[in-house]
Amino acid sequence: MTSQHLRDLEPIRRHATLVAVALDTQATLIDEIIDLHDRFLGGVFSKAKRTHAEQFQNSGKAISDKVRLYSQIGRALLAAKESGSEPYAAIEKVISWAALEESVAEAEQLAGPANFDHLAFAIDGYSQLRRYTPALLDALDFQAAPAALDVLAGIVLLRDLYARQARKIPDTAPTSFIRKRWIDLVRIPDGLDRRFYELCVMSELRNSLRSGDIWVPGSRQHKDFDEYLIPATVFQHRRTTKTLGLPINANADEFLSTRTTLLEQQLALVETLAAAGELPDAAMTAAGHLRISPLTNMVPEEADALIRASYGLLPHVKITELLLEVDQWTGFSQHFTHLKSGQPPKDITLLLTAVLSDAINLGLRKMAEASPGITVTKLGWLQAWHVRDETYAAALAEIVNAQSRQPFAAKWGHGATSSSDGQNFKAGGRGLFAGHVNLKYGQEPGVQFYTHISDQYAPFHSKVISATVRDSTHVLDGLLYHESDLRIEEHYTDTAGFTDHVFALTHLLGYRFAPRIRGLADKRLYIPGKSDSYPTLKPLIGGNINTKIIHVHWDDILRLTTSIKTGTVTASLMLRKLGSYPRQNGLATALRELGRLERTLFTLDWMQNPELRRRVQTGLNKGEARNALARAVFFNRLGELRDRSYDNQRHRASGLNLLTAAITLWNTVYLEHTVTTTEHPADDPLLGHLSPLGWEHINLTGDYTWNNPRQPKAGKLRPLRRPGNS
């Protein structure tokens, strides 16, 4: 709202709005402060690790020379012992005493810390840390669970030292939180090293904030763990009345009995097949390793000819015309309602221009320059009142639902399976994600658009995530919080999308999780009995499932899962906390044990089911093809995000996802039109190899105009091109 809009509100509503904004801003600032501290320390430790590695590499020749010299001295001493000669004389034959004394001094410098740890180099970041920690500790009110009270005591001590401007750490300072790798750095002959003590405290604060053992009142991302969940009284009532809403048996004994019995059956079956060498396209080697044959290409050569012929008939279309046509079919623009009145936009072309500016990464100002008759003021006003996360989500759902209703889309799937993957985009400037560097994508900072796509090629959910966060953290968000009518049953990811916690929660929430895990043979199986019962599989077995801890924390697991299911807390937030640092209450450990059980069941199925492997590969290929389309559409500014605001970055991701969904639907409709027009057999299995993700026939550039007299009328389609015409 502008100040004028705010002034027009009645006083009570105006004051309530201002208070709400202030509280929301406070929570946002607290979270950003904590995130900056997390990122800064991450950078300090990463730099220390690089410095350590570089120093070791640069010293490689000197270390090699020293080892060779001391090897010669050792040989000389051994020879002297064997012959009974004078050992000192034997050493003097190799090196003079003066040279040896100098060599020993050099060796002491080369040796470095006894534990070969990079933490010693983290001291280089102390001066920068010291510039903001007094303000950080003074501004935030940290509170702790019993497991982190010693860390909180260290924080209180530092806060007091900063206030008094004291320099020495007292001998009575709390030290029980200091981990083994820090002890030799923090404890020195004179007492406690001030710099390393502060580094250690702030590092443990970072870990405890991640896990939830320390929280900050007023924060949104770092509050008391219990506050994220549904109230205990509500949970107990739901448990008693059997209204948890979870698709599992809520009785721990019965649940675990069913799953462990199934696991034992599958272990016995796979053991028999492996011993007989009858695992399909897989085998256990003589060395005890699992070897799975690569999948063969199942796409016939005839499919390529069909794809070229079909796309050769599609009419050329401007992206503006395509959006208007899809809106005519679906009415998705009506979901971009006014924030205050709830009314749909009066000027549809103005709205679609704003959406397109997000989708192609052009921005409002440049979009206005490329759109005759449209001003940046009008676009800014419409975006402020009509374009929000919830309006984008509702509009996307309308298009996805339309895609699922297309008869031709059934040739690619029934909307019951999906895949998800992250796509990296460089982030220019010095915005929120400027410090987020993932070396997998190079040295440039960036963000990821994490997208879920159905087996019918519909991208039904997308969100902006940090490039440094593991994909698995966000897998469940797309499955749980999309607004389309899709009912996903099975979901695929690559290696970055799986953890044991995800395996556990997907099963508890009613999804079949099927990731393509790189190095699956190196992932251990976990069993309920003795490994001797499975001699062939024994090299793959990593241990036993601790069902006892699952029993002990079963109510905690159900309460967490119910909270995620009902939307009380997002799955990504809980997975980030549970996976970052083990909580002392055992919930993370119990969930991990349950995840090991489910991952073992999945692995056994993977070993004996080539169809599952092929299904997963096909699903992931669809996601990669959609990413190629998104990269082509998001072409302005060389595909680089230059928005400082996280809200604007989310709008970019939402606009891009909506446009790719619209292109997918348009292509689906017209591909079906080509099949019916050319009287191609409707039951031809080759049709399943067509993809609605092509874009060569779509004009994405130029002036963005909306008034085209050739726009087809309602219920009509554009004429197809003639074969052979460009």
Helix, coil or strand: residue 513: strand
Q: Which of 711, 664, 21, 692 is nearest to 307 (CA)?
A: 692
d(CA 540, CA 531) in angstroms, rounded, equals 10
Per the rule left: phi > 0, alpha: psi between -120 and 50, beta: everything else, 423 is: beta
**What pLDDT does 335 receive?**
97
What single-letter amino acid sits at 76?
A
d(CA 400, CA 377) in angstroms, rounded, equals 31
Task: Give per-residue pLDDT as tens, 486-542.
Answer: 999 999 999 888 899 999 999 999 999 999 988 776 778 999 989 999 999 999 999
Please report the sign of the dihedral spanned by the C-alpha atoms of residue 375, residue 380, residue 381, residue 386. positive
- Give the DSSP H/E element, type plus range, for residue 364: helix 364-369
- DSSP-derived letter for residue 512 is E
Inter-residue long-range contacts of 189-195, CB under 8 Å, 24+ positions, other chains counted: 193/169, 194/167, 194/168, 194/169, 195/123, 195/126
d(CA 184, CA 191) in angstroms, rounded, equals 11
Beta strand pairing status for 282-284 and 290-292?
A: antiparallel
Q: Which of 626, 476, 457, 652 is nearest to 564 (CA)?
A: 476
Task: Give per-residue pLDDT as tens, 8-27.
Answer: 889 999 999 999 999 999 99
**What pLDDT does 106 receive?**
83
Tokens of residue 437, six digits: 């560097």
Q: Which of 243-252, 433-442, 579-588 has the lowest mean pLDDT?
A: 433-442
For residue 421, list its beta bridge partners. Answer: 451
CB count within 10 Å of CB 142 equals 20
> Helix, strand, coil % (nearest 5) of the chain?
60, 10, 30
Tokens of residue 303, six digits: 């499919």
Burial 123-133, CB ≥16 within 10 A → b, else e = bebbeebeeeb
Tokens 């999308």 sit at which residue? 497
Global pTM?
Answer: 0.83
Please give the average per-residue pLDDT across 662-684, as a whole number.
Answer: 93
Per the rule left: phi > 0, alpha: psi between -120 and 50, beta: everything else, 428 is: beta
Task: Give per-residue pLDDT as tens, 283-298.
Answer: 998 888 889 998 888 7
Q: Are 595 and 504 in contact (CB under 8 A)?
A: yes
- How would residue 642 be classed by pLDDT, with cut points 50, 70 and 90? confident
Task: Give per-residue pLDDT as tens, 240-264.
Answer: 999 999 999 999 999 999 999 999 9
Mean pLDDT of the chain: 90
**What pLDDT does 725 receive?**
61
| All residues at 6 or more sequence positions from 421 whose CB lies less than 8 Å from its CB, including other chains | 450, 451, 471, 493, 494, 497, 620, 623, 624, 627
End-to-end CA distance of the chain: 49
Please report the sign of the dihedral spanned by the C-alpha atoms of residue 32, residue 37, residue 41, residue 47. positive
630 or 643, higher pLDDT: 630
Q: Are 466 and 484 in contact (CB under 8 A)?
A: no
Q: Which of 242, 4, 49, 38 is nearest to 129 (CA)?
A: 38
Q: Which of 655, 100, 683, 702 is nearest to 323 (CA)?
A: 655
| All residues at 6 or more sequence positions from 267 whose CB lies less than 8 Å from its CB, including other chains | 525, 527, 533, 534, 537, 604
d(CA 240, CA 483) in angstroms, rounded, equals 30
**What pLDDT does 203 receive?**
94
Q: Which of 649, 696, 219, 186 is nearest to 463 (CA)?
A: 649
Tokens of residue 551, six digits: 């029993």
Task: Give per-residue pLDDT as tens, 317-338.
Answer: 999 999 999 999 999 999 999 9
- 270 to 267, 507, 525, 540: CA distances (angstroms): 5, 22, 12, 12
Beta strand pairing status for 490-492 and 187-188?
A: unpaired
Q: Are 558 and 590 in contact (CB under 8 A)?
A: no
Tokens of residue 614, six digits: 């092929």
Task: Give per-residue pLDDT as tens, 340-358.
Answer: 899 999 999 999 999 999 9
d(CA 369, CA 194) in angstroms, rounded, equals 58
Q: Does residue 724 register a pLDDT over 70?
A: no
What single-letter amino acid sits at 111?
A
- Give the DSSP H/E element, type plus range, for residue 542: strand 541-544
CA torsion 385-387-389-391 (nearest 10°) is 90
- How would residue 443 be classed by pLDDT, with cut points 50, 70 and 90? low
d(CA 503, CA 498) in angstroms, rounded, equals 7
- How would residue 692 be classed by pLDDT, with cut points 50, 70 and 90? very high
Q: Are 341 and 359 in contact (CB under 8 A)?
A: no
Q: What angle do CA 358, 361, 365 make, to 5 degrees?
A: 80
Q: Does residue 434 register a pLDDT over 50?
A: no
Please give the average per-residue pLDDT across 674-691, as a whole number.
Answer: 90
Task: Give per-residue pLDDT as tens, 42-51.
Answer: 999 989 988 8
d(CA 223, CA 215) in angstroms, rounded, equals 5
Tokens of residue 161, six digits: 């030292």
Tokens 């009328």 sit at which residue? 713
Tokens of residue 599, six digits: 């991952």
